[in-house]
Structure 1
């Protein structure tokens, strides 16, 4: 993670609700790479349920007190989310509890404790009918239960009075957990051909890259050099379709990309509607002086390198 010249090297204590998830684990790894200067506390949902007010109050209080005692600066990066997009259509109340009520409680407690909050959101808050990348101040218009609950979470955080930022991202994948890229890896070895939707456009984002970006943002906030814009977009740059991403995965595996055949959204119906176009402009991120995200194709190659490295380490 690159850092601006003159940045404050203050030690940080960062609480990551949702620490057991894909992004949470990458935040732990990114913090570890920065050495002892950054302490990442990343409880999973079984340790910190963001829908339980008492647990949220205790976790943020412990963070604030512990940081004060050790001379660190406290920041909360909320990676907790209900991300089962299709299941949310039938379980919107549960999704709302995690994606909206949880962030509302976190923001209220952070406000009372004077702890800055960074909240991670999604491209699904937009309607998906744009013809150019979405900017942070474009009108929202979620078309799915998941998108509605995430939009409600944004409103709760930004209207809380807390020192808070919302960071939207898109098409997230990583080396841990289940995601589209890992599913394509599995299918390559079991299917001669497969059909993948080719009329939905977005920007695949490697969760390890997002994690490093979020820690850079946290450092800037802690050092008093926080961005003025309270809503930012972070995604690996460029755009593709799900079919294009699947073909890139096959190429990385040394397989014939043409084994992935394009299909339409209508040919592959899902319970939750997907945005047809949800590319996020990262101009707000770079304008804030933060490190520019790399192209999505470069990030995918880095993902495979990291995956091979992890596999090699596990075999030792």
Structure 2
């Protein structure tokens, strides 16, 4: 069994990675910024050891990694503000510096590193060409991680949902309830992934010897609008209250090619139409 340090363990993804790692018998340490109980609401396994850490503080990150002495670090932390460059870019570099080449690192990146102008699926060989601040920060994080810790795994993923806590799930509920004003875009195409599938894949990659970039996303290409419809149907919401639009100015078609992951991983990456309609 391994000793695993998970950054961002109070977030939707980090929490699931931590829970699955504990269930598998690993020793798990999870970092947090807000008070632990406040952040997780008390609904977290007591087997997870909380470690307060602001990844923007390079020395603090180094101290935590040195003290924890993990076999594996899974970097799932992200800024609460998507445009928080210091957390999303510099924070990732700080984690990579602390791991170096002595601690295995799995870094979570995003399809947002791409512009959507390719007119095809993006493979691991495609070079980032971000067109907005969040994508630029994630691209910078990838560059830092690959330069500082060349043995790391850089996992590019897409919209994460499936357990009710995903950002797109919350947005759909807010739009239907009138708590948010706006529309879901028909020309923003993604490969949404279930949080449990992604969490399983991160742990599997951490236990293996793969290094470099790998796309880990769901099987189905889905527009943000169609995904909102799936959320509404699953949760018994009024689909008629969702508005569609096009031309958001954000990346359009940024489907990730998941051929490498499908051949390498035992974890099955389900499509949104399957996992949103299950049961």
Match of 1:249 in 2: 231
Matched, 1:63 2:68: yes
Matched, 1:52 2:57: yes
TM-score of the superposed pair, with normalisation by structure 2: 0.85
Match of 1:23 in 2: 13
Matched, 1:181 2:186: no
Work out which of the residue numbers 167, 170, 178 in structure 1 matches 2:158: 170
Unpaired runs of 5+ residues, structure 1, are: 1-10, 68-73, 89-94, 221-225, 267-272, 306-316
- Please list, as runs of the form range in 1=range in 2, the aligned pairs for 1:231-242 lying within 5 A after superposition: 231-242=213-224
| CA–CA separation in structure 1 for the residues paired with 2:204 and 2:176 | 36
The alpha carbon displacement at 1:117 in A equals 0.5
Structure 1 pair 299/178, CA: closer, same or farther in 2 (3 Å)?
Answer: closer
Structure 1 pair 161/291, CA: closer, same or farther in 2 (3 Å)?
Answer: same
Q: Identify the structure with bigger relative contact order (alpha carbons < 8 Å, sequence gap 6+).
A: 1
The alpha carbon displacement at 1:102 in A equals 1.5
Structure 1 pair 265/290, CA: closer, same or farther in 2 (3 Å)?
Answer: same
Per-residue CA shift, 1:59-107, capped at 9, x if unaligned?
111222xx5xxxxxx100001112534xx2xxxxxx2221222221211
* CA RMSD across the alignment: 2.3
The alpha carbon displacement at 1:182 in A equals 2.4
Match of 1:13 in 2: 3
| CA–CA separation in structure 2 for the residues paired with 1:57 and 1:103 | 12
Match of 2:42 in 1: none
Per-residue CA shift, 1:136-180, capped at 9, x if unaligned?
111210001111111011000001145211001111235475611
Structure 1 pair 194/84, CA: closer, same or farther in 2 (3 Å)?
Answer: closer
| CA–CA separation in structure 2 for the residues paired with 1:243 and 1:137 | 29
Match of 1:309 in 2: none
Match of 2:45 in 1: none
- Please list, as runs of the form range in 1=range in 2, the aligned pairs for 1:133-282 lying within 5 A after superposition: 133-173=121-161, 175=163, 177=165, 179-189=167-177, 195-220=183-208, 226-227=209-210, 229-255=211-237, 257-265=239-247, 273-282=249-258
The alpha carbon displacement at 1:187 in A equals 4.0
* Secondary structure of 1:42's aligned partner: strand
8 Å Cα contact 2:217/2:269 also seen in 1: yes
8 Å Cα contact 1:27/1:40 also seen in 2: no
| CA–CA separation in structure 2 for the residues paired with 1:249 and 1:174 | 9
- Please list, as runs of the form range in 1=range in 2, the aligned pairs for 1:27-38 lying within 5 A after superposition: 27-34=17-24, 36=25, 38=26
| CA–CA separation in structure 1 for the residues paired with 2:61 and 2:166 | 27
| CA–CA separation in structure 1 for the residues paired with 2:62 and 2:78 | 18
TM-score of the superposed pair, with normalisation by structure 1: 0.75
The alpha carbon displacement at 1:259 in A equals 4.4
Structure 1 pair 120/205, CA: closer, same or farther in 2 (3 Å)?
Answer: same
* Secondary structure of 1:159's aligned partner: helix
Unpaired runs of 5+ residues, structure 2, are: 35-51
| CA–CA separation in structure 1 for the residues paired with 2:123 and 2:238 | 36
Matched, 1:285 2:274: no
For these two proteins, the number of residue pairs brought into alignment is 261
